[in-house]
Amino acid sequence: MRTIAEVLPQQLVGWLKVARGLPYHGKRRRCPVCGWSSNRFRAAGRERRPDAQCAFCSALERHRLVWVFLQRKTDLFDGRDKVVLHVAPERCLESRLRERLGKSYLTADLHSPHAMVKMDITDIRYPDESFDVIYCSHVLEHVQDDGRAMRELHRVLRRTGWAILLVPIKAAKTFEDPTITDPKERIAVFGQADHVRNYGPDYVDRLRDAGFAVSVTTAADLLDRNTATLMGLSAGGGEIFYCTKA
């Protein structure tokens, strides 16, 4: 099914976004992704999280946090040429990254027809050290053999490159059970029908086993309390797992 943006003129889409945001008019919140201000963010999620989603660009907490991280802690926007792989691209980030990075930006997905290439991250059809930057968010919890996927991402990352590989941390220790295949049981155990595990803090160990050196950053490491509140990140936003080749 085509999106509104594909059916209607871009200017009309812009006005629709403004109209959708009218109930949120105010200055108490500001989205770092699109730059719009509002009195609050929308509630979002299966278990409704208040103050979660930008009414204008739909960026969630993790998108807002990673955008701040990309700007403040990486060389992504320094103007030098980089070949960038964005796995399962989120619309709120994709358009902005495409505009900033140009032809060196590649989107990939196993199922989405909107991605530039079809890609199974457990079997990436690109040579070793193909990419300077890899961004893959909330994908690995859907992948049966996540270890193989991590090794493939490590293989195609250049020695001087870096990757951000985000997952939701939902358990004290990673739990998976491949015998759980019923969608209702997966929802009960993992929170979504297409999730195959709940990651814990030992996710970092899995990344290291795949050959990565990993540093972990939170909103508190990037933002003062007032700015975190302004961006809707006072409750966190998850962790940024920044990976380089060990």
| Mean pLDDT of all residues in 89-104 | 96
Specify which residues 186 forms β-bridges with: none
C-alpha radius of gyration, the chain, whole number: 18
Site of tokens 């085509």: 2
Q: Domains of the chain, with CATH numbers?
A: 60-245 (3.40.50.150)
Give the pLDDT band of residue 1 (cuts 50, 70, 90): very low
CB contact at 8 A, 213 and 165? no
What's the average model confidence in pLDDT over 127-136?
98
The CA-atom distances, in angstroms, between 23 and each of 38, 75, 77, 210 are 9, 37, 33, 47
Please give the single-letter amino acid code of residue 80: R
| Mean pLDDT over the full length of the chain | 92
If residue 190 lies in a helix (H) or strand (E), which one and from where to where?
helix 183-190
pLDDT number for residue 2: 47
pLDDT at residue number 9: 63
Q: How far is the CA of 180 from the CAs of 49, 138, 169, 177, 185, in angstroms?
A: 27, 20, 19, 6, 7
The region of weakest confidence among 18-22, 59-63, 180-184 is 18-22
Which helix (DSSP H) or strand (DSSP E) does residue 99 occupy? helix 91-101
**Could you give the CA distance from residue 178 to residue 190 in angstroms, rounded to a whole number?**
12
What is the β-pairing status of strands 49-53 and 42-44? antiparallel
- Enumerate helices (H) and strands (E) in the chain, giving the number of each: 9, 13
Our CA dihedral for 101, 103, 108, 114, rounded to 10 degrees, sits at 100
User: What is the percentage of the chain residues whose pLDDT exceeds 70?
Assistant: 91
pLDDT (tens digit per residue) in 195-234: 999 999 999 999 999 999 999 999 999 999 999 999 999 9
For residues 96 and 52, what is the distance between their CA atoms, to the nearest angstrom?
Answer: 20
DSSP 198: E
pLDDT at position 49 over 80: yes
* Residue 217: predicted pLDDT: 98
Q: Which amino acid, residue 158?
A: R
Cβ count near 132 (within 10 Å): 20
Query: What is the average per-residue pLDDT within 120-134?
Result: 98
pTM beyond 0.85, yes or no: yes
**pLDDT value at position 13?**
54
Averaged pLDDT, 133-161:
98
For the chain, percent of residues with pLDDT exceeding 90: 86
- The one-letter code for the residue type at 62 is R
